[in-house]
Structure 1
Amino acid sequence: MEKRCIPILECELGEIIAQKVVSKYGSTIVVENTTINSYIKNKLIAFEVDYIWIYGVCIGESIKYKDNDLNQLKQSYNRNILEIKKIVNDLTNGNNVSIEKIDLISNSIYEPINNEYHVVRCLNELKSIDEDTFTHSINVSLYAMLLGKWMLLPESKIKDLIQAALLHDVGKTKISNSILNKKGKLEIEEFEEIKKHPIYSFEIIKDIDGLSMESKEAVLKHHEREDKSGYPAGIGGSEMSICSKIIAITNFYASITSERTYRKRVHPFEAFKIFQSQSSVSFDIHIVNTFLSNIAACYVGTKVLLNNGKIGEIVYVPPQVITKPIVCVDSEYLDLSKEINLSIVNML
Structure 2
Amino acid sequence: MGKKCVLVSECKIGDIIAQKIVSKYGATIAVENTVINNYIIKKLATFETKYIWIYSIDKDELPKIDKTSFSDVKKNYKTNIIEINQVVNDLCKGKKVEVNKIDKISNSIYKNINDEYYIVKCLSELRDSEEYVYTHSVNVSFYGMLLSKWLCLTKKDINQIVVAGLLHDIGNVKVPIEILNKKGKVDVEEFDEIKKHPIYGYNMVKDTSIVSDVVKEVILMHHERMNSTGYPLGKDGDELSIYCKIIAVVDAYDAITSDRTYRKRRTPFEAFEILKNNSMEYFDIHVMDTFLENIAACYVGSKVLLTNDEEGEILYVPPHCITNPVVSIGERYIDLSKESDIKVKAML
Q: TM-score, normalised by structure 1?
A: 0.96
Question: For 1:277 and 1:263, how far apart are their aligned partners in 2?
Answer: 21
SS for the counterpart of 1:327 is strand
1:313 and 1:157, CA in 2 relative to 1: closer, same or farther beyond 3 A? same
SS for the counterpart of 1:6 is strand
Bigger Cα displacement from structure 2, 184-193 vs 287-296: 184-193
Bigger Cα displacement from structure 2, 71-80 vs 21-30: 21-30
Question: For 1:277 and 1:301, how far apart are their aligned partners in 2?
Answer: 26
Are the equivalent residues in 2 in contact too, given 1:74–1:122 (CA < 8 A)?
Answer: yes
Query: How far 1:65 sits from its partner (Å)?
Result: 5.0
Amino acid at match of 2:40: I
Are the equivalent residues in 2 in contact too, given 1:77–1:138 (CA < 8 A)?
Answer: yes
SS for the counterpart of 1:53 is strand
Show the counterpart of 1:184.
184
Are the equivalent residues in 2 in contact too, given 1:312–1:328 (CA < 8 A)?
Answer: yes
Mind listing any 5+ residue stretches in structure 2 that lack a counterpart? none
Deviations 1:129-157 (A, max 9, x none): 44421111001101001101110111110
Show the counterpart of 2:325.
325
Matched, 1:33 2:33: yes
Question: For 1:222 and 1:59, how far apart are their aligned partners in 2?
Answer: 52
1:64 and 1:30, CA in 2 relative to 1: closer, same or farther beyond 3 A? closer
SS for the counterpart of 2:314 is strand
Amino acid at match of 1:273: E
Show the counterpart of 2:221.
221
Matched, 1:298 2:263: no
Are the equivalent residues in 2 in contact too, given 1:15–1:59 (CA < 8 A)?
Answer: no
Matched, 1:140 2:177: no
Are the equivalent residues in 1 in contact too, given 2:57–2:63 (CA < 8 A)?
Answer: no
Amino acid at match of 1:239: E
Question: For 1:208 and 1:33, how far apart are their aligned partners in 2?
Answer: 43
Question: For 1:344 and 1:58, how far apart are their aligned partners in 2?
Answer: 36
Show the counterpart of 1:205.
205
SS for the counterpart of 2:77 is helix
Query: How far 1:61 sits from its partner (Å)?
Result: 5.7
Question: For 2:60 and 2:200, how far apart are their aligned partners in 1?
Answer: 51
Query: How far 1:60 sits from its partner (Å)?
Result: 8.0
Query: How far 1:185 sits from its partner (Å)?
Result: 2.1
Show the counterpart of 2:118.
118
Question: For 1:164 and 1:8, how far apart are their aligned partners in 2?
Answer: 41
Amino acid at match of 1:186: V
Report 1:8-157 matches (<5 A).
8-58=8-58, 64=64, 66-157=66-157
Amino acid at match of 1:93: K
Are the equivalent residues in 1 in contact too, given 2:218–2:244 (CA < 8 A)?
Answer: yes
SS for the counterpart of 1:29 is strand
Are the equivalent residues in 2 in contact too, given 1:34–1:117 (CA < 8 A)?
Answer: no
Percent of aligned positions that are identical: 53
Question: For 2:66 and 2:14, how far apart are their aligned partners in 1?
Answer: 12
Deviations 1:216-254 (A, max 9, x none): 111111111111111000112110000000001100000
Are the equivalent residues in 2 in contact too, given 1:55–1:62 (CA < 8 A)?
Answer: no
Deviations 1:61-101 (A, max 9, x none): 68555211111110010011111011111111110112211
Query: How far 1:186 sits from its partner (Å)?
Result: 1.6
Bigger Cα displacement from structure 2, 251-260 vs 52-61: 52-61
Question: For 1:287 and 1:200, how far apart are their aligned partners in 2?
Answer: 27
Question: For 1:218 and 1:16, how far apart are their aligned partners in 2?
Answer: 39
Question: For 1:226 and 1:217, how far apart are their aligned partners in 2?
Answer: 16
Question: For 1:30 and 1:262, how far apart are their aligned partners in 2?
Answer: 35
Are the equivalent residues in 1 in contact too, given 2:2–2:56 (CA < 8 A)?
Answer: yes
Question: For 1:55 and 1:30, how far apart are their aligned partners in 2?
Answer: 14
SS for the counterpart of 1:315 is strand
Deviations 1:16-51 (A, max 9, x none): 322221111111111233332331122112211010
1:93 and 1:285, CA in 2 relative to 1: closer, same or farther beyond 3 A? same
Question: For 1:60 and 1:158, how far apart are their aligned partners in 2?
Answer: 41
Amino acid at match of 1:38: N
Q: TM-score, normalised by structure 2?
A: 0.96
Question: For 1:130 and 1:341, how far apart are their aligned partners in 2?
Answer: 34
Amino acid at match of 1:268: P
Amino acid at match of 2:11: C
Question: For 1:230 and 1:300, how far apart are their aligned partners in 2?
Answer: 33
Please tell me the root mean square deviation across aligned C-alpha atoms, in Å: 1.6
Matched, 1:267 2:245: no
Show the counterpart of 2:4.
4
Question: For 1:296 and 1:93, how far apart are their aligned partners in 2?
Answer: 40
Are the equivalent residues in 2 in contact too, given 1:130–1:259 (CA < 8 A)?
Answer: no
Show the counterpart of 2:234.
234
Are the equivalent residues in 1 in contact too, given 2:33–2:65 (CA < 8 A)?
Answer: no
Report 1:280-299 matches (<5 A).
280-299=280-299
1:55 and 1:320, CA in 2 relative to 1: closer, same or farther beyond 3 A? same
Amino acid at match of 1:339: E
